[in-house]
Chains A and B, each alone.
Chain A
Amino acid sequence: MYATTYHKPKTLAEAVELFENSDEPSYLSGGHTLIPTLKSRLAAPAHLIDVRNIPELSGIEVTADRVIIGSATKHAVVAASKEIKAAIPALSGLAGSIGDVQVRHMGTIGGSTANNDPAADYPSAVLSLDAIVHTDRREVPAAEYFQGLYTTALEPGEILVRVEFKIPEIAGYAKFRNPASRYSMAAAFVSKHTDGHIRVAITGAGNEGVFRWTEAEELLTANFSAEALEGLTIDPSRMMGDMHAPADYRAHLVAVMTRRAVQNLGGTHIL
């Protein structure tokens, strides 16, 4: 890791000011993507601004129709929340399936959502549950938030403060993991919202990161069952292909995981 200077602001205003007045700054949350990146010298921010001590970024609130999670909330805390488990069990299970126990004790929902790794879990829930991403300066709907690999609507210096999920009528999450890295090779978050609309969000597979599989949504709108998806395939040219899985294999996994998510509504199916 190259030399860097660490800062621990206590307010949003202080953090933004530090960012704007520093050369080559980066925000730091749980650090479980950023620190490995720094260690391999793929990034070299001169200033690390740790946002975890900012009070607005903490806390979980569950209302009649929303689950609101502060961005510095750790995966283990989301997974252990009885309120979240009661409201959206698939979201609770997703959080409990990220990495391993030690990783979940450090990694945060805000870090995952801001980084938008194409194999990250949370972006699928954010997109499927029509979430609103609250920042220090505005509210961004999920449909506008994700903009490709590692790319989001966040502007330089903008801080993700909390994520507001809509509580669906029912949702399910199915994931096929790489057996070594434990990152998803294909995962589907399927939601049926209270007004009846369906969202199918796919992560781990798409060559532009998380995306909505609208063809699956249309079939599920007509018939909300795994049988409705029989025979539906996705174009492998939309998939990532790498040493872990070629594009046609990922395309196959996307279809299987989407069906499995529908077969496991109200929970998760993690392979």
Chain B
Amino acid sequence: MSRITITVNGTPQTRDVEDRTLLVQFIREHLGLTGTHVGCDTTQCGACTIHLDGKAVKSCTVLAVAADGSQVTTIEGLAEGGKLHDVQQAFHEHHGLQCGYCTPGMIMASVDMIRRHDGMLDEHTVRHELEGNICRCTGYHNIVKAVLDAAEKHRAAHAVAAE
């Protein structure tokens, strides 16, 4: 057992965990934040994608104890003051989901993607960069539309901020 502290969605969370505890188990079972899903449990499907120190990673393949002292953002940490994050809003407007199981991971991967590219995305790049996230409903078309829309809003917001 190890006592670890991980700051999740801005709140430091200290727990005693077995060293074999995965970060996704820490998030779901120790903190009760079940928005992060486990799909394949083999680092392929991306349903468990969260941000670890600002970068999208698959939380089923990180030990919680190795994330001690880190900053984690989950799907529950995106909305602010009851207002959905632009990427969440875009998924809502474009119906970027069917069953919804992959959606939290898709959104976390998309937020990371838009930030890394500073919103400069085209359809080809979005499809390529989402290769680590699998939608078994095969609902990619509207997911891609949602990401492109959110990327455009990101560009517009930054253009305004620059003026």
Contacts and interface: CB of A to CB of B under 8 A. Distances in A.
Contacts of B55: 76, 105
Contact of A48 (B19, B46, B61, B133): B19
B33 interface: no
B91 to A, nearest CB: 18
A120 B46 CA distance: 20
Interface residues of A, number: 27
A187 to B, nearest CB: 17
Interface in B127-155: 129, 131-133
A90 B139 CA distance: 34
A38 B60 CA distance: 12
Contacts of A28: 63, 66
Contact of B42 (A5, A36, A38, A48): A36
Interface in A112-164: none
Contacts of B65: 6
A203 to B, nearest CB: 20
B63 A102 contact: no
Contacts of A48: 19, 63
Contacts, number: 73
A102 B19 contact: no
Contacts of A101: 56, 109, 112-113, 129, 131-132
Nearest to B19: A6
A84 to B, nearest CB: 18
A31 B20 contact: no
Contacts of B46: 100, 102
Given A36-B43, A50-B66, A101-B132, A106 B20 contact: no
B112 A35 contact: no
Interface string B113-132: 10000000000000001011
Given A102-B49, A105-B56, A182 B19 contact: no
A3 B19 contact: yes
Contacts of B44: 181
Given A36-B61, A100-B131, A101-B129, 4 more contacts: A35-B63, A101-B112, A102-B58, A103-B132
